[in-house]
Amino acid sequence: MATTRISAPLRGLPQQLARLSTRQPALPARCTKTITTSFARPIATSSAARAAVSPAATSAESFVPVVPFAEQKVLATIHQFPSLEPLRFEEFPANHLHLPTRKDILHRAVIYEGDMTRLGTASTKNRWEVRGSERKMRPQKGSGKARVGDVRSPTIRSGGVSHGPRPRDFSTELQKKVYDLAWRTALSYRYRRGELIIVDNAMEIESPSTKLLEHILKYQAKQRGGRGRSLLITLEERPMLEMALEELESGDTTLLWDEVDVKNLLEGSRVLIERAALHNILISHQEDLTHKPLPAFSRRLVRSSPAEDLESVVGWPEFRGLMLTDAADLDAARAAAYESVASTRYAHAESLGPSAQQTQLTLSAYRLLAEAKEAQFKTRTGMPFADYTRIAGQHDALDRFPAVQALDYQISQQTSLGHTADETSPLAANQHYLDVRLLEADKQSLLLDAALLAAQVYEHRAEAHRLAGEEGAAEVALARASVQRTNVDSLDLDAMSARVEVAKQRKRVMLARGDEGGVKRAEKEVREAEEALDRAVVGQEGALGEVQEEGDVVDEVVPEVTTKSEQKS
């Protein structure tokens, strides 16, 4: 059905129609079904084939009744989304999904849709609508120049426009039966090329995860031959699918069944359509067959898809609530929702016995936890985790965080103000230096949080890879997590040292103010910070000593085993 939405300009229409094959292939035996009779002679499938039958073959002995094309059936595979696993075959009329390709019909339909979407609002002012005096600019004769009228003349700059565009309606007319035939012709073209993928369930993903959707689209492109954009036609709004497609920026689009045009069906490489949406499209575009218009609120149209397959997904209410969150609070809400759903799925998996469902739920939980930590990493540092992964091995990787750069700028500004205040007021200078120490402490805390979040991301990824059977990727993720954990230990000491410096500088400020009570509180804060730093240093040294002792034991055992093997040899 035609839509009133503003579609893209009709670019490349000759190229789109040129690649359409006008050859009518025979109905393949593996995917077609015709009405059979008791005769063994094959049934002709077109008027041209029936005309080619010789008169001798139409004798009483060899006469076979020809089955009308409208009564023939074709079989289409129904798939399961998102795995595209084949479920069953379903019959469709041949005049719905196996029509010959008619370039002329498709061209007329695409031009009709393009004309319907043209706004026609271009407008200019003629000489009677522009503002200006009606006095003649100069005498008709005697000046040696061309004759001219008033300032509103089209020949004068800033005058009116002659024969300019005016608001108009560009829409054209096309017979409803021809347009319905074009719809089914476009679907038939996709069907015969194997590019019409019909799915039985709602095309909605369990979480708005770009990684999950990217994996699905790559698998579809691999199974359906080559790259290219996909058009996903749904019965209702699929908020998670749309959100993931927008973030993915792969060129794949999703439209409702009543928003699709013939031009949309001819674009792209594949068409994924829900079975209920295909049913509505075929019912809405068969007036040339039934010769009866379809009422606007016909009971034959499917209004909503059953939500059992979505409501049964663990965590679906949280994801549905996430779709209603404001865009400004979406990142923080996403991380919280992912962690909540991950814990729910992990607990549900623990209640199940060893099975494929338990493994799938646990794998999904670890993936959601990894994405939650990635969202928190971006919120904390201002840099997407994927960008940090590419520069993690460089020496200045931590200084490239936008949040760190903002703190460095503030530190430089406060330091310069402190140098200026040294000449005027010691109290003001100490206060500026306290602000510098606080900013430095915030910087060290930010770096510590970044390293901790990165370590957690790699650890969750390692568990997900292990459950998926990807041992090599799991080892790489664990190695990266170990590096980040080492960074966490060193950055933890730096953060504690920064807190000690803050406490000492706060003591100097209290001394400059002459506040004895403040000085005592600052001295207590300094002692507590130094004791915490000492405990952390002793704890890390003890852990390092245990690791070295384990390494020495291994070094002692390995030569002994080697010696025994050498003695045996």
> What is the residue-wise DSSP string for 326-352?
-GGGHHHHHHHHHHHHHHHHHHHHHHS
Rounded-to-integer distance, Cα 261 and Cα 2, Å:
6
**pLDDT at site 129:** 92
Rounded-to-integer distance, Cα 560 and Cα 557, Å:
5
Per-domain residue ranges of the chain: 73-99+172-290, 381-546
**pLDDT at site 142:** 92
- 82, 216 Cβ separation under 8 angstroms: yes
What is 190-257 written as a DSSP string?
HHHTT-EEEESS----SS--HHHHHHHHHHHHHHTSS---EEEEESS--HHHHHHHHHHTSS-EEEET
**pLDDT at site 167:** 93
- DSSP strand pairing (85-93 vs 253-256): unpaired
**Token couple for 277:** 């949406």
**pLDDT at site 48:** 44
Secondary structure letter of residue 153 according to DSSP: S
Helix (H/G/I), strand (E/B), else coil: 388: helix
H or E segment and range at residue 317: helix 316-323
Assess whether pLDDT exceeds 90 at residue 549: no
Residue 308 backbone dihedrals phi, psi, to 5 degrees? -65, -40
**pLDDT at site 33:** 43
In this prediction, residues 502-518 reach a mean pLDDT of: 86
Which one, of 244, 170, 251, lies nearest residue 203 by Cα? 244
Rounded-to-integer distance, Cα 200 and Cα 81, Å:
7
- Residue 391's pLDDT band (cuts 50, 70, 90): confident
Rounded-to-integer distance, Cα 474 and Cα 462, Å:
4
Type of residue found at 75: L
**pLDDT at site 176:** 92
**pLDDT at site 100:** 92
- 209, 367 Cβ separation under 8 angstroms: yes
Query: In this predicted structure, which of 182-191, 298-307, 371-380 has the lowest mean pLDDT?
Result: 298-307
**pLDDT at site 221:** 65
**Token couple for 273:** 């359509």
Rounded-to-integer distance, Cα 216 and Cα 27, Å:
31
| Domain 381-546: CATH class, spelled out | mainly alpha
**pLDDT at site 563:** 36
Max mean pLDDT among 106-115, 299-308, 514-523 falls in 106-115
Rounded-to-integer distance, Cα 480 and Cα 486, Å:
10
Which one, of 285, 322, 278, lies nearest residue 302 by Cα? 278
Q: Label residue 341 exposed, middle or buried (CB < 10 Å: 0-12, 13-18, 19+).
A: buried
- 212, 244 Cβ separation under 8 angstroms: yes
**pLDDT at site 59:** 44
Assess whether pLDDT exceeds 80 at residue 255: yes
**Mean pLDDT for all residues in the chain:** 79
User: Dihedral (C-alpha) 4, 10, 14, 15: value to the nearest 10 degrees?
Assistant: -110
Give 342-365 pLDDT, tens digit per residue: 888 888 888 888 888 788 888 888
- 235, 274 Cβ separation under 8 angstroms: yes
Assess whether pLDDT exceeds 60 at residue 173: yes
Give 92-101 pLDDT, tens digit per residue: 999 999 999 9
**Token couple for 467:** 């459950």
H or E segment and range at residue 80: strand 73-80
Type of residue found at 340: S
**pLDDT at site 183:** 95
Our CA angle for 241, 243, 244, nearest 5°, is: 65
Q: Where are the alpha helices (DSSP H) in 19-93?
A: 47-51
Ramachandran bin of 204, using left for φ above 0, alpha for ψ from -120 to 50, beta for the remaining angles: beta
- 185, 218 Cβ separation under 8 angstroms: no
% of the chain beyond a pLDDT of 70: 76
Rounded-to-integer distance, Cα 364 and Cα 468, Å:
10
Give 121-160 pLDDT, tens digit per residue: 999 999 999 999 999 999 999 999 999 999 999 999 889 9
**pLDDT at site 270:** 85
**pLDDT at site 308:** 47
Rounded-to-integer distance, Cα 205 and Cα 370, Å:
18
What is 498-518 written as a DSSP string?
HHHHHHHHHHHHHHHHT-HHH
Q: At what angle do helices 426-467 and 471-513 cross, to 10 degrees?
A: 170
Secondary structure letter of residue 121 according to DSSP: -
Assess whether pLDDT exceeds 80 at residue 168: yes
Rounded-to-integer distance, Cα 15 and Cα 26, Å:
26
Assess whether pLDDT exceeds 70 at residue 557: no
| Domain 73-99+172-290: CATH class, spelled out | alpha beta
Rounded-to-integer distance, Cα 160 and Cα 279, Å:
54
% of the chain beyond a pLDDT of 90: 25
Give 15-74 pLDDT, tens digit per residue: 556 666 555 444 444 444 443 333 333 334 444 444 444 444 444 444 555 667 767 889
Helix (H/G/I), strand (E/B), else coil: 85: strand
Type of residue found at 334: R
Which one, of 401, 342, 403, lies nearest residue 371 by Cα? 342
Q: Is the peptide bond before 167 cis (omega within 30 degrees of 0)?
A: no
**Measured between alpha carbons, how far is residue 10 from residues 117, 257, 293, 533 in Å?**
10, 21, 29, 69
Q: At what angle do helices 316-323 and 330-351 cross, to 10 degrees?
A: 170
What percent helix, strand, coil does the chain show, rounded to 5?
Answer: 60, 5, 35
Chain position carrying tokens 């609120």:
297
Neighbours of 134 (CB within 10 A): 8
Give 451-506 pLDDT, tens digit per residue: 999 999 999 999 988 988 888 889 999 999 998 888 888 888 888 888 888 888 88
Rounded-to-integer distance, Cα 225 and Cα 54, Å:
42
Neighbours of 45 (CB within 10 A): 19
Assess whether pLDDT exceeds 90 at residue 113: yes
Which one, of 211, 266, 230, lies nearest residue 12 by Cα? 266
Assess whether pLDDT exceeds 90 at residue 538: no
